[in-house]
Amino acid sequence: MALYFFTPFIAIILTILGGGIIFYILGFNPIEALKFYFITPISNLYGFSELLLKATPLCLIAIGLSYCFKSNNWNIGAEGQLTFGAIVGGGVALLFYNQEGFYILPLVILAGAIGGMIFALIPAILKTYFNTNEILVSLMLVYVSKLILDYLVVGPWSNPEGFNFPETRQFSDSSRMPLLFEGLRIHAGIFLALAAVMLSWFILYKTYLGFQIKVSGLSLKTAKYAGFKGKTMILVVFMISGACAGLAGVGEITGPIGQLHRMISPDYGFTAIIVAFLGRLNPFGIIFASLVVALTYLGAETAQIFLQIPKYTGQVFQGMILFFLLASDYLLIFKVKILSLKKNELRH
């Protein structure tokens, strides 16, 4: 059991080693490259604040996903729920354009969470009542949400003074996340992520719902035998998951971006799947995992700026982390045994 929580660290160490080898093959000094990758980005206050900024949406989404994954519900469409949450939240922000009021930002955030929740309910309802595959439905809905966003920012919501460029107006200050420090971009959204972590720890480990989720994840048949209402639980975990993704989306648009356009998320919804597993679907583990994965984004930028290492190594690192994690899990669960074939078996 202790090893179970230890494998993520093994995976990270293997990723760093693997990364070093790749850098060496590419002709870079591996130690120097790794330093630019993992240390330089966070060597000052600004860099560290950017790390937290980047980790916030990843952490939020991954927390939400952990409910689904723990209970054997494969919600792959967090990116879509993030987008739809941003659409609904952004819509409210535009509705209150140029208005003052302390209530506006909470309304915008709430709208974002509800938007994500509604969008996650679609695969959940289809799964519970029509037996569809939630992996496919939630994944395909990602494209639907992106097309809706495209339509809105090109058409009805585009900035009237923006020469038809596909973007909305900049939100007014009343619907922007308050900044925590002057001159840094880190915003109040990080408290949403931390609150989600605390609340999730409580729900997952201290409530009946959490117990249901755990049992369903371990064995659906047992859950049924115990008389758990499977359908309600599926709906609830999808709603929580969607709400978290929606919050992440609304945090991005009311935080660093400040408007709606077509590129609100560099696929956070998909990367968060890696974060969720690297964090062992444990709320506190996810905090740690979101920081590690956020660092691969920042590191890729720094490595390109200082050493001109292609930025795509960031995605290679993310892929390697997941690969090594799954591989070490596999080796942890199964025992490798080399079988030698006996001579008489070969004759057949």
Partner 1 sequence: MYKNFFRYLISAIFLLGFSVNSNADFKVGFVYVGPTGDHGWTFQHHEGRNAVEAAGIKTTFVESVPEGADAERVIRQLAQSGHDLIFTTSFGYMDPTNKVAKDFPNVKFEHATGYKREHSNVSTYSARFYEGRTLLGHIAGKMTKTNTIGYIASFPIPEVIRGINAMTLAAQKVNPNIKTKIVWVFTWYDPGKEAEAAQALIDQGADVIMQHTDSTAPVQTAEKAGVWSFGQASDMQRFAPKSILTSIIDDWAPYYVERAIAARDGTWNQQDTWHGLKEGMVAMGPYNSAMGADLVKEVEQLQKDLASGKVHSFTGPIYDQKGNILVAEGKVADDGMLAGMSVYVKGVEGDIPK
State the residues that interact with partner 1 by CB under 8 A: 46, 50, 53, 150, 154-155, 163-167, 170, 183, 185, 252, 255-258, 261-266, 297-298, 301-302, 304-306, 308, 310-312
N-term to C-term CA, the chain: 43
Q: How far is the CB of 88 from partner 1 (least distance, A)?
A: 18
Q: How far is the CB of 327 from partner 1 (least distance, A)?
A: 28
With respect to partner 1, which residue has the nearer C-beta, 263 or 338? 263
- Spell out the alpha helix ranges (H) of the chain: 2-26, 30-38, 45-70, 78-95, 104-130, 134-154, 189-206, 208-218, 220-225, 230-252, 268-278, 283-307, 313-333, 343-346
Task: Enter the tokens of residue 53.
Answer: 């900024």
Sequence-separated (6 or more) residues with CB below 8 Å from residue 182: none
Q: How far is the CB of 126 from partner 1 (least distance, A)?
A: 27
With respect to partner 1, which residue has the nearer C-beta, 59 or 257? 257
- Give CB contacts under 8 A, 24+ apart, made by 11-19: 11/278, 11/321, 11/324, 11/325, 11/327, 11/328, 12/292, 12/321, 12/324, 14/320, 14/324, 14/328, 15/317, 15/320, 15/321, 15/324, 18/320, 18/324, 19/313, 19/316, 19/317, 19/320
Task: Enter the tokens of residue 164.
Answer: 């038809």
Q: How far is the CB of 140 from partner 1 (least distance, A)?
A: 16
With respect to partner 1, which residue has the nearer C-beta, 134 or 167? 167
With respect to partner 1, which residue has the nearer C-beta, 16 or 184? 184
Q: How far is the CB of 60 from partner 1 (least distance, A)?
A: 14
With respect to partner 1, which residue has the nearer C-beta, 242 or 255? 255
With respect to partner 1, which residue has the nearer C-beta, 116 or 258? 258
Burial class (CB in 10 A: 0-12, 13-18, 19+), 145: buried
Instruction: Round to whole Å and give the CA distance between 341 and 114.
Output: 60
Which amino acid is located at 242 in the chain? Answer: G
Task: Give the number of other CB atoms < 10 A from CB of residue 260.
Answer: 27
With respect to partner 1, which residue has the nearer C-beta, 72 or 304? 304
Q: How far is the CB of 9 from partner 1 (least distance, A)?
A: 28
With respect to partner 1, which residue has the nearer C-beta, 8 or 255? 255
With respect to partner 1, which residue has the nearer C-beta, 109 or 298? 298
Sequence-separated (6 or more) residues with CB below 8 Å from residue 22: 313, 316
Q: How far is the CB of 43 from partner 1 (least distance, A)?
A: 11
| Residue 96 φ then ψ, to 5° | -100, 25
Q: How far is the CB of 139 from partner 1 (least distance, A)?
A: 18
Q: How far is the CB of 348 from partner 1 (least distance, A)?
A: 50
Which amino acid is located at 306 in the chain? Answer: F
